A and B are shown apart, each in its own frame.
Chain A
């Protein structure tokens, strides 16, 4: 039981890392990784939303769409669910904890359109995860995303002062670096 969940977590964090192996959520990965602090804020917000959204989309699919025979609507309804969850979270956080809102607030709307969130919801259905498995898979995906985002941000701060040739400055060398990191992560293949 516990071993199953840890395999699920290691699989989602390292072996099938959402960014470097499945290439999901690349826009925030490139966009929010210029500074380590913003990357930290983004990863916390994503972890929160991803875990919540994977639970909510599981409930929606199994208790609303399946009984009504509407499973072909899953993509569009997941987008709706995610948007609602994010918006709702933002409102709650703003009222209940202004401090947390200041830390996470800017990033929350960004996450609505993050393909990793939708990807997790759909993969959970594809792989027939139950409720707890969906929760853990969402959490693992978020931790994997956060891990590489934060590490990548620390590396990009260093790249910003490197003597990179003119045509490769900025996003180009970022993509090259992400590619090399993706190569390195292939070493985890077969761990689970």
Chain B
């Protein structure tokens, strides 16, 4: 094997793995603040407990494989995975639910495949789907937003997490749930009869989405990822929703704006779809990959059994990513274009 010799000048990229991960963590802060404002301390408790479990799982896997602990624990990747998963989990989830989810993310989806950089599936979304299929009741129990119910304080949030039996959970169907169950009301009446709906999406959800959008745009500005996949996903979901929107009959799937600002659309577009490991790599590939997720999210939301579908859509698209990459390899410089002789 020939040794690769590169002569000077050498440019040093300032972005190490841990810097990138720190940026992602920072970018989730506005969204977490808004979620905490509307739904109480549940999300924060989720994130803290999930982070502890994630670091423990990471340390366990590294110890079993005989890898240096300090080096890999300092790259923040386990914390990013657990934080993204815990944002997606319902607030006031019991401790074992979070532990199982985080453990399947870190151990099953990441370390079985060789750790950071090798996982073919997005770890956070694997954890989410495992939980959604195994514990559907706990996973669909969302707290009511501020203004529609009591928002528990920090102590109650801790109680809900670590002693679930002694906490009276108040739950409310999310706007996407309500839309899914609806089969007789015009959308306008549905909006009036159910207090969950806000100006564009659901109360609380729309502002959380906008906060995640701000964080995502900051990441984009920092060049953590390129615009292709998120934009393709948002355009695809808007196009699908626009195409099948009939101004609000009972069979309608909801307006494009509603789909953009409900559930995990924005959060998924900027924090999940942009995962550099499990997504497609080439520019054209990213566009196809993002568009596929957007289309799948709409189809499963409106037609499938699940009210929100970002996790499923991302996993299915992860599955196709190597194939997309195989057929969208960019032309190497100096080689002829297809058709040229």
Q: Which residues of A contact B (CB under 8 A)?
A: 36, 150-152, 154-155, 157-159, 162-165, 168, 173, 176-177, 180-181, 183-191
Contact = CB atoms under 8 A, between A and B. Distances in A.
Contact of B323 (A150, A159, A165): A150
**Chain A: interface secondary structure?**
helix
A187 B309 CA distance: 7
B113 interface: yes
Interface string B121-153: 100001001100100000000000000000000
B252 to A, nearest CB: 18
B316 interface: yes
Q: Which among A163, A164, A184 has the greatest number of chain B C-beta atoms within 10 A? A: A184
**Chain B: interface secondary structure?**
helix
Contacts of B316: 184-185, 187
A155 B323 CA distance: 7
A177 B114 CA distance: 13
Contact of B322 (A154, A176, A186): A154
Interface of B: 64-65, 108-109, 111-115, 118, 120-121, 126, 129-130, 133, 296, 299-300, 303-306, 309, 311-313, 315-316, 318-320, 322-323, 325-326
A162 B114 contact: yes
Contacts of A163: 114-115, 118
A180 B322 contact: no
A184 B319 contact: yes
B120 A177 contact: yes
A191 B303 contact: yes
A158 B322 contact: yes
Contact of B121 (A157, A180, A191): A180
Contacts of A158: 120, 322
Q: Which among B113, B115, B315 has the greatest number of chain A C-beta atoms within 10 A? A: B113
